[in-house]
A and B are shown apart, each in its own frame.
Chain A
Amino acid sequence: MEWRAELRKKIANKERTLMVRTRMPEMDPAVRIRFQDREVNTGLTVAQAQSEASRCLDCANPTCIEGCPVSINIPKFVKYIELGSFLEAAKTLKETSALPAVCGRVCPQEKQCEATCFYTVKLQKDPVAIGHLERFAADYERESGFVSVPEVAPSNGIKVAAVGSGPASLSFAGDMIKLGYDVTVFEALHEVGGVLKYGIPEFRLPNKIVDVEIDNLRQMGVKFVRNFIVGKTASFDDLKAEGFEAFFVASGAGLPRFMNIPGENFNGILSSNEYLTRVNLMNAASDEFDTPVLRGKNVAVIGGGNTAMDSVRTAKRLGAERAIIIYRRSREEMPARVEEVHHAEEEGIEFLNLANPVEYFADENGKVNGMRVQRMTLGEPDASGRRRPIVLEGSEYDIAVDLVVVAVGVSPNPLIPSEVKELKVSKWGTIEVNEETMQSSIPELFAGGDIVRGGATVILAMGDGRKAAASMHEYLQGKR
């Protein structure tokens, strides 16, 4: 890597460390809250990207890579950006990631690569904006018209299937097709992409960007079958009879949790999955589409994760006068990405922290018109390491709401476990796998993503997909 040695010498490290982290340009909050389908972050310019890339010290021991669940060669792609070889940077991303344009947008970098960046760890300075740079390289390639298709090994004719088409499966499919397998991805919905399509809103991740990455996999030879529920439309045995030798189950955490409090089944109270699916997958916010969505003036969203932020910001964009996050812990414990919370604040989202719903009220038609919340305080840390919320007795008060979105988490989708009786499942309903190999109690069945984790992130799901691909490859080759 002579070019990198040359590049390192061009600017002294001292000088590099004195540069300030580039801020992601974004749409004016007052404008963007009027558009459900316009991206908040507008992306770095070429000059901004190159300047940010030159902050990276190209460490001898790049700890950032260890923070990445799919082990992207971070310094290599960043240095390509500094050099001005943007297409090479994009190629580097695609060596290990099937979805760089997606990850650049939705990864919690502050907890991963950027958390283990030399700047963060050793200099106590703002880390290199790895996420912004990843997005820059992927977007540059897409817009250049020179989208590279990664090389694939000659076909080995072995048929494997992925169940579900979310990030875990797409990542799995990308690795398996590169190894020469005949890969089919089965999706239950009418659109490929899973949570990237039905869950994450357009203002954070445009569907057309997801489609480009899916097209890339298609060009590599991955087959996609929509409207097909493995276990229902056809059983695993049917598919085995059709020649599939191994399966990667990544059917997601598609079962919304509710709180089981009085009045929760009133009209106007819905899961974030329902709310976001109507808007994102079914285009319900547009009059041209048949699917309806409820619009509220006073919208409460229960929860503090990314899905809660996506829901509350969607409500604002669909005309809510008040859009409130109700979360039982404090701001510090919120699991949402820092950037999402920051964007929500800019957009006028209200935060009602240390508060928890206890009951809902409805009008004579059964439509929600109010809710009772109780105040909470924080106690000792619990198993998750976050301070446990404790009820403040006698602190209840009521607020007027006409739409409530419940975003308190999801459980694993029970379809596959209920159709495959021999499959070992935890008491939470997640599929049990060997953590090293992602292999389940049925040898030819591997699993990953939220059906194993019970509700995590896009990038962790992708990491599982990669791991499963590597061990399925070993398993299938061992059988020959």
Chain B
Amino acid sequence: MNQIVEKVLFSEKVAKFVVDAPRIARSRKPGHFVIIRVDEKGERIPLTIAGADPVKGTIDLVVQKMGVSSAKLFELNIGDHILDVVGPLGKATHIHNAGTILACGGGVGVAPMLPIVEAFKKAGNRVISIIAARNKDLIILEDEIRKWSDEVIIMTDDGSYGTKGLVTAGAEMVIQRETVNECIAIGPAVMMKFTSLLTKKYQIPTQASLNAIMVDGTGMCGACRVSVGGHTRFTCIDGPEFDAHQIDFDELIVRLGGYAAEERLANERFLKLN
């Protein structure tokens, strides 16, 4: 049982939960994720850790309301408990001094990007961050990202904030302007796919953090398998970050829809009950 000690609404559908998890707060590193189960009947869902306070013993989780499980979590408030939280899982981001880092975050992908940006900055890199979303309401953690970035570029699909356009437009502008040594992309699979295609064109090493479907998160089930460089890898133990230029994003996108019909049914049942 892990208590929620803080809940911050970023938008109607996105919120940050600060959750009591002292062990994980101490052992987690940028890039790690946790698996949570909201209640007895809940799914096990992976959530990337957006930050942690080892002194207070808390971790930050940013959640977008999508299906049944995220909706259930979204309904919880300060003082409520999440039944199970396990982690930290996955391999931590390889943080080093590379020179200039271009960090591209789309939607809620900005949350897991935050600790990575912070770590790269602390390692002495010049960090340029791009925060992209459909519209102004969905831009999250701007102040926090600014704190650890030399420059922040905001991109919105509808132009309601920052520059109108996709994350790739902002990224290409930076790449043409100055030398970028490494890139990191976190967000929806399609966004990562196109960011990866762009950086491949400019031969910039790029890591993407994948959000595959998982059950246990410890290598046991293989639901999260992904093709990287022609080999099957497990996102949970081999990832979640991989060399973006080697990832078969089209396969990933198809696999993310593997339970779409079942999820739709479950969502309908859930909405009827509530």
Point out residues on A near B: beta carbons under 8 Å: 188-190, 198, 226-229, 232-235, 238, 254-256, 258, 260, 264-268, 270-271, 273-274, 277-278, 282-283, 287-294, 365-367, 413-415, 418
Main secondary structure of the interface of A (DSSP, over half): loop
B237 contacts A267, C-beta separation under 8 Å = no
What is the minimal beta-carbon distance from B127 to any residue of chain A, in angstroms? 27
Is B41 in contact with A290, judged by CB distance below 8 angstroms? yes
Contacts A273-B220, A415-B237 given; does A232 touch B41 at CB 8 Å: no
Given contacts A227-B84, A366-B254, contact A256 B41 (CB under 8 A): no
Which residues of the other chain, A, contact B41 by a CB distance below 8 angstroms? 283, 288-290
Asked whether B220 lies within 8 Å of A256 as measured between CB atoms, the reply is yes
Q: A233 contacts B27, CB within 8 Å? A: yes
**Contact flag A226-B84 (CB < 8 Å), given A277-B220, A289-B41, A415-B218:** yes
B83 pairs with A190, CB closer than 8 A:
yes
Residue interface bits B209-231, CB-to-A below 8 A is 1, else 0 = 00000011011111101010000
**B42 proximal to A (CB < 8 A):** yes
Q: What is the CB-to-nearest-CB distance from B192 to chain A, in angstroms, rounded to a whole number?
A: 18
Decide if B263 touches A190 in the complex (CB within 8 Å).
no
Q: Which of A226, A232, A264, A414 has the largest number of chain B CB atoms within 10 A?
A: A232
Q: Does B79 sit at the interface, judged by CB under 8 A?
A: no
Residue of B nearest to A226 (CB): B84
User: 13 new A-B pairs (CB below 8 Å) besides A227-B84, A290-B266?
Assistant: A190-B84, A229-B218, A232-B88, A233-B27, A234-B27, A254-B218, A254-B220, A260-B232, A265-B225, A270-B221, A290-B68, A290-B72, A365-B257
CA distance A264 to B84 in the complex (A): 32
How many angstroms between the C-alpha atoms of A194 and B237 in the bound complex? 19
| Known contacts A274-B215, A290-B41, A292-B262; A232/B221 CB under 8 A | no
The interface residues of chain A lying within 8 Å CB-to-CB of B265 are 292
Q: How far is the CA of A277 from the CA of B218 in the complex (A)?
A: 13
Q: Are B254 and A267 in contact (CB under 8 A)?
A: yes
Contact of B258 with A by CB under 8 A: yes
Known: A229-B89, A256-B221, A365-B257. A188 touches B216 (CB 8 A): yes
B258 and A267 form a contact (CB under 8 A): yes
Which residue of chain B has its CB nearest to the CB of A413? Answer: B219
**B contacts, CB < 8 Å to A:** 23-24, 27, 37, 41-44, 68-69, 72, 83-89, 215-216, 218-223, 225, 227, 232, 234, 237, 251, 254-255, 257-259, 262-263, 265-266, 269-270
Per CB-CB distance, the 10 closest pairs between chain A and chain B, nearest first, are A292-B262, A366-B254, A274-B221, A254-B220, A267-B258, A227-B86, A271-B222, A190-B84, A256-B222, A290-B43
B residues within 8 A CB of A293?
Answer: 262
Q: Are A291 and B86 in contact (CB under 8 A)?
A: no
Q: Tell me, in angstroms, the Cα distance from A194 to B234 when the chains sit together.
A: 20
Cα-based distance from A254 to B234 in the complex (angstroms): 12
A232 touches B257 (CB 8 A): no
What residues on B are CB-neighbors of A190 within 8 Å?
37, 44, 83-84, 86
Interface pair B223/A274, CB less than 8 Å apart? yes
Cβ contact within 8 Å between A365 and B254: yes
Distance from A238 Cβ to chain B, minimum over Cβ atoms (Å): 8
- Residue among A189, A226, A266, A278 with most chain B CB within 10 A: A189
Most A CB contacts (10 A, CB to CB) among B219, B223, B251, B254 go to B219
CB distance from B200 to the nearest CB of A (A): 22
A418 partner residues in chain B, CB cutoff 8 A = 237
* Closest Cβ–Cβ distance, residue A164 to chain B (whole Å): 10
Residues of A within 8 A of B85 (CB): 227
Q: A291 near B216 (CB under 8 angstroms)?
A: no
Please, how many angstroms separate the alpha-carbon atoms of A413 and B220 in the complex?
7
Once the chains are docked, how many angstroms separate the CA of A292 from the CA of B268? 13
Chain B residues within an 8 Å CB radius of A198: 216, 220
Residue in A255, A260, A266, A290 whose CB lies within 8 Å of B219: A255
A13 CA / B270 CA spacing, docked (Å): 65
Chain A hits for B221, CB < 8 A: 256, 270-271, 273-274, 277
How far is A450 from B265 in the complex, measured between Cα atoms in Å?
38
Q: What are 14 sample pairs from A and B whose C-beta atoms fall under 8 A apart?
A: A189-B86, A226-B84, A227-B86, A232-B88, A254-B216, A254-B219, A254-B220, A258-B222, A265-B251, A271-B222, A273-B221, A277-B215, A282-B44, A365-B254
- Residues on A with beta carbons closer than 8 Å to the beta carbon of B263: 292
Q: Is the CB of A278 within 8 A of B89?
A: no
How far is it, in angstroms, between the C-alpha of A235 and the C-alpha of B23 when the chains are bound? 10
Collect the chain B residues with CB atoms within 8 Å of residue A283's CB.
Answer: 41
Q: Name A286's closest neighbour in chain B (CB-CB).
A: B41
Q: Kindly list chain B residues whose C-beta atoms are within 8 Å of the C-beta of A229.
A: 86-87, 89, 218
A264-B232 contact given A190-B83, A274-B223, CB 8 Å threshold: yes
Contact across chains for A414 and B219 when beta carbons are under 8 A apart: yes
CB atoms of B216 and A277 under 8 A apart:
yes
User: Does B216 lie within 8 Å of A189, measured CB to CB?
Assistant: yes
Chain B nearest CB from A157 CB (Å) reads 24
Measured in the bound complex, the distance between the Cα atoms of B221 and A49 in whole Å is 40
What residues on A are CB-neighbors of B216 within 8 Å?
Answer: 188-189, 198, 254, 277
Q: Is the CB of A282 within 8 A of B215?
A: yes
Give CA–CA (A234, B86) in the complex, Å.
Answer: 11
- When distances are taken between beta carbons in the complex, the residues of chain B under 8 Å from A271 are 221-223
Known: A190-B84, A234-B23. A290 touches B232 (CB 8 A): no
| Inter-chain contact A294/B259, CB cutoff 8 Å | yes
Distance in angstroms between the alpha carbons of A278 and B214 in the assembled complex: 11
**Closest A residue to B37 using CB positions:** A190
When distances are taken between beta carbons in the complex, the residues of chain A under 8 Å from B69 are 290
A232 to B41, CA, bound (A): 26
Residue on A nearest B68 in the bound complex, by CB: A290
The complex places the Cα of A377 from the Cα of B82 at a distance, in Å, of 54
The CA of A418 and the CA of B69, in the complex, are separated in Å by 31
Question: Closest B-chain residue to A412, C-beta based?
Answer: B219
Q: Of A238, A256, A290, A413, which contacts B42 at CB under 8 A?
A: A290
Interchain CB contact under 8 A, A233 and B87: yes
Partner of B86, one of A233, A273, A274, A413: A233
